[in-house]
Amino acid sequence: MKILGIDFGKKKVGVAWAETNTGLSEPLGVFPILTFFQLLQGNKVGLNLEEVDKIIIGKTGGKIDKEIEKFAEEVKKLSSKPIFFYDETLTSQEAQKNLIMAGVGKKKRKKKEDALSAALMLQYYLESHV
């Protein structure tokens, strides 16, 4: 089963995918929100939406959750795949820490952090649901 993971931010989204057969997740990229929807419509997010079995969108339990729910409604308009929410609290901090430990420079880190955060969220999802 293939799962698309999304780490929502007000300006950009981190995207990752996971495969339940392997139990592994992989970051795909970070996109401005408008670009993400354009890519999603054209099935160009790195994974064809028809190949995805479900979509997981991270939530934090904070003030941004209402915006995340609105974002999820927009994603639903483009895909018939089921959408689930999963707690992604502290994944951004963990992603940042991992990138620092890997020696990734600050500029490159900013470009990769949200996608890695989405991948970490999916990894935790897989570990607790598969």
pLDDT in tens, 3-57: 999 999 888 999 999 999 999 999 988 888 887 777 777 666 555 677 889 999 9
This prediction's pTM: 0.86
The amino acid occupying position 90 is: L
d(C-alpha 7, C-alpha 66), whole Å:
14
CATH class of 2-129: alpha beta
Start-to-end CA span in the chain (Å): 10
pLDDT attached to residue 3? 95
- DSSP 8-state code for residue 47: S
Please write the tens of the pLDDT for every residue from 48-101.
Answer: 677 889 999 999 888 999 999 999 998 898 888 999 999 888 888 888 888 888
Q: Which two three-digit tokens encode residue 29?
A: 């990229």
pLDDT attached to residue 61? 87
Nearest to 12 by CA among 92, 120, 122: 92
Average pLDDT (101-114) is 84
